[in-house]
Amino acid sequence: MFRIGQGYDAHRFCDDGKLILGGVTIPYEKGMLAHSDGDVVLHALCDALLGAAALGDIGKHFPDSDTQFKNIDSRILVQSVIKKLAVLKFSVVNADLTIVAQAPRLSDYIQTMRENISKDTRLSIDAVNVKATTTEGMGFEGRSEGIAANAVVLLDKH
């Protein structure tokens, strides 16, 4: 049985902190304002995975009101979701992620993001796609106020 999930996340920039996307620290003058590490790519991925399995969303499983998730590495969240899915006999078939950001340029970091996601989801690298786009100056991303990400996944239930 196949299940499709879709996820979305967005965070605004702040003047301090790190910019982490897909588990990769990106050199940039701004970081993400968030309870966790603010990795919108992995948060969107978690939501897509949880949604495909009808398990709610990232906020249900890792609420920002819980101090144990303060500044947590989002790769740990992905790994936790994968364990939840395995208990229910779900495996990930593929993942396709889109990062929406006017800046910084991300092409040099895409392959490492793919490798991180491949490891954390137990997927072959050729089943993970990450791409980045701009909004040509439109919207909050285009005004460089923050970054958003979309994720689509396919699960298979054994």
**How is the chain split into domains, by residue range?**
2-157
56-88: pLDDT as tens digits: 999 999 988 888 888 899 999 999 999 999 999
- Tell me the pTM: 0.96
Task: Report the pLDDT averaged over residues 97-123.
Answer: 97
For residue 24, pLDDT beyond 90: yes
Q: Assess if CATH 3.30.1330.50 describes domain 2-157.
A: yes
Question: 123: pLDDT confidence band, cut at 50, 70 and 90?
Answer: very high
**Listed residue (58, 62, 57) closest to 72, CA to CA:** 62
Residue 68's pLDDT is 83
Question: Under a CB-based contact definition with an 8 Å cutoff, are residues 123 and 96 in contact?
Answer: no
**Listed residue (119, 110, 120, 111) closest to 76, CA to CA:** 120
